[in-house]
């Protein structure tokens, strides 16, 4: 079984080879080659790794879950369908964390696509929910095929990074703006969460969003009435199966942008985090498996399960375990916590449903500030694609809809068209002198 960890390279200039006259020392002797690692769950389990998995899940639920609930509100979903959505993405994330971490012996952290949810918040209400489910299925199938076939790396090189990031920045733009538009109605809540977020970010980035949520909730408790209705419905979620309906408008408006955003803005950086920690991830297995899991759970509301980046950094560093070969336990721990907490997704929905809309907006906004900043920096950082990126950003951020298709698709299309026009070589006689 491949460990996914880069083998140690021989010293520079060492070209010696073992021969029959000069046999390599036997295993266990000084200078002998390192034996293949033997893994044992009982031996490899450690408290720091289990804790790292728990912290990653807490960060996931305190920030990205708020974005899911905001999208559910925008799509006019009832409590049962919202709870099913939370259940589906939680179970999908938990199963893929468990399986992939065990299979690869790497701390593979998966989560739901937060930029994908941001996309849905802008256009989910424009389609019947059954058509959205159909779009989820198509998007998941495309990601699975692209992953298992090995097209992932080639596609990421073919599509200009600046254009894709500009589309993501346009999607996230409204979330950043909503922080300040809510100031007029709920200044105490917004300012409390906003100040707490940046104050905590100076000390710990990973805890900044949870602290902002707590600070905003405290301000809401003082200034308004929090309505937590925890009386009925039971603890465990009853998943709601929705039969898909397929339409061209939902295919173009949801499925294509969702697949592009998930691949480029989630799976690509998720792979990079693992590589940065010294692992050699198999993108065919990882991307293909998350796409397949998304496909299986799409009828229950899962829009996309993908490789995580921010929470993955929590589990891939030495804080999880000094030995990189034992950090896979953090990934398995993350999966178990996802399964346990996600099974009670109905309680989570009820808890967050009692929070004021202003608090949901500001927490979702600050949770996505990092992604917005990163996407804007990347989009405008490449001089060769800057014009195309600006066109993509403005079109996507406008929120326009044409022929029933949302702005994310049109932004991507017009950005690629702009890029093609600027990069097409003119005949020699038509060039400016």
Q: Which residues, in sequence order, are CB contacts of 64 under 8 Å at separation 6+?
A: 111, 112, 114, 117, 367
CA-to-CA distance for 295 and 312, rounded, in angstroms?
A: 22
| Phi, psi (rounded to 5 degrees) for 159 | -85, 125
Residues in the chain: 433
Number of neighbouring beta carbons within 10 Å of residue 28: 7
pLDDT recorded at residue 91? 95
* Of 72, 111, 75, nearest in space to 90 by CA: 111
Q: Is 142 exposed, middle or buried (0-12, 13-18, 19+ CB in 10 A)?
A: buried
User: In the numeric block, which tokens belong to residue 67?
Assistant: 């974005």
- The Cα 396–Cα 410 span in angstroms is 7
Q: How far apart are CA 252 and CA 410, in angstroms?
A: 9
**CA–centroid distance for 19 within its chain:** 51
**Rounded CA gap, 262 and 132, in Å?**
16
177/301 Cα distance (integer angstroms): 27
Half-sphere exposure of residue 261, counting CA atoms within 13 Å on the CB side? 33
Q: Identify the pLDDT of residue 390.
A: 92
What angle in degrees, to the nearest 10, is found between the helix axes of 369-381 and 161-181? 140
What is the DSSP pairing of strand 305-307 with strand 110-112? antiparallel
Cβ neighbours of 244 (radius 10 Å): 17
| Residue 297: closest CA among 68, 71, 96, 54 | 96
Cα dihedral: 292, 294, 300, 301 (round 10): -160
Tokens of 5: 């960890």
In the block, residue with structure tokens 């940065």: 276
Residues in Cβ contact with 67 at an 8 Å cutoff, skipping those fewer than 6 apart: 114, 117, 118, 121, 175, 364, 367, 368
Q: What is the pLDDT along the chain (433 residues), one digit of tens a residue?
A: 545 555 434 444 444 444 433 444 344 344 444 555 666 777 888 888 887 788 788 777 766 777 788 888 888 898 889 889 989 999 999 999 999 999 999 999 999 988 788 888 878 888 999 999 999 999 999 999 999 998 887 776 677 878 877 877 887 787 788 888 888 888 888 898 889 989 888 887 767 877 888 888 888 888 766 655 545 555 678 899 999 999 998 998 899 889 988 887 788 778 877 877 788 889 899 999 999 999 999 999 999 999 987 678 778 877 778 888 889 999 999 999 999 888 876 676 666 656 677 777 787 777 777 768 877 888 888 778 889 999 989 988 887 766 655 677 788 788 889 988 888 765 655 555 4
End-to-end CA distance of the chain: 61
Name the β-bridge partners of 402. Answer: 405
Secondary structure (3-state) at 306: strand
Task: Provide the pLDDT for residue 15.
Answer: 41
Closest CA to 369 of 121, 48, 67, 3: 67
Q: What is the DSSP string of 236-290?
A: S-----------HHHIIIIIHHHHHHHIIIIIHHHHHHHHHTTB---HHHHHHHH
DSSP secondary structure letters along 185-207? T-HHHHHHHHHHHHHHHTT-STT
Question: Do 263 and 139 meet the contact criterion of CB atoms below 8 Å apart?
Answer: no
Contacts of residue 121, Cβ cutoff 8 Å, sequence gap at least 6: 67, 70, 71, 74, 174, 175
List residues bridging with 110 in a β-sheet.
Answer: 307
Residues whose CB falls within 8 Å of the CB of residue 152, separated by 6 or more in sequence, listed in order: 146, 263, 267, 283, 284, 287
């Amino acid at each position: 079984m491949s460990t996914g960890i880069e083998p140690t390279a021989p010293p520079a200039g060492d070209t010696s080879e073992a021969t029959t006259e000069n046999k390599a020392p036997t295993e266990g002797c000084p200078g002998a080659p390192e034996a293949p690692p033997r893994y044992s769950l009982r031996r490899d389990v450690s408290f720091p790794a289990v804790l790292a998995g728990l912290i990653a899940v807490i960060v996931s639920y305190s920030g990205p879950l708020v974005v899911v609930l905001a999208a559910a509100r925008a799509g006019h979903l009832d409590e049962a369908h919202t709870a099913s959505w939370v259940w589906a993405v939680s179970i999908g994330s938990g199963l893929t964390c468990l399986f992939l971490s065990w299979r690869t012996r790497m701390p593979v952290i998966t989560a739901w696509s937060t930029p994908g949810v941001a996309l849905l918040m802008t256009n989910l209400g424009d389609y019947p929910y059954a058509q959205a489910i159909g779009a989820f299925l198509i998007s998941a199938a495309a990601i699975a095929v692209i992953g298992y076939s090995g097209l992932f790396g080639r596609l990421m090189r073919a599509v200009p990074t600046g254009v894709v990031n500009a589309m993501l920045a346009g999607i996230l733009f409204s979330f950043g703006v909503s922080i300040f538009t809510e100031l007029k109605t709920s200044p105490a809540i917004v300012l409390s969460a906003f100040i707490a977020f940046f104050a905590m970010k100076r000390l710990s980035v990973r805890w900044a969003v949870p602290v902002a949520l707590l600070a905003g909730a405290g301000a809401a408790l003082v200034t308004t009435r929090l309505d937590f209705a925890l009386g009925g419905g039971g603890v465990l979620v009853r998943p709601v199966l929705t039969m898909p309906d397929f339409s061209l408008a939902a295919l173009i408006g949801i499925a294509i942008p969702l697949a592009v955003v998930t691949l480029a803005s989630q799976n690509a950086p998720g792979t990079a985090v693992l590589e940065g920690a010294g692992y050699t991830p198999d993108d065919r297995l990882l991307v293909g498996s998350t796409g397949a899991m998304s496909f299986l759970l799409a009828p229950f509301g899962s829009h996309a399960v993908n490789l995580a980046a921010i929470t993955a950094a929590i589990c891939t560093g030495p804080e999880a375990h000094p030995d990189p070969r034992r950090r896979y336990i953090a990934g398995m721990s993350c999966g178990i916590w996802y399964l346990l907490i996600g099974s009670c997704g109905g309680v989570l929905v009820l808890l967050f449903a009692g929070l004021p809309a202003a608090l949901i907006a500001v927490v979702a906004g600050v949770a996505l500030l990092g992604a917005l900043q990163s996407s804007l920096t990347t989009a405008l950082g490449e001089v060769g694609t800057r014009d195309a990126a600006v066109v993509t950003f403005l079109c996507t951020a406008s929120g326009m809809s044409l022929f029933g298709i949302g702005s994310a698709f049109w932004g991507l299309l017009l950005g690629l068209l702009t890029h093609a026009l600027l990069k097409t070589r003119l005949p020699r006689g038509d060039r400016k002198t």
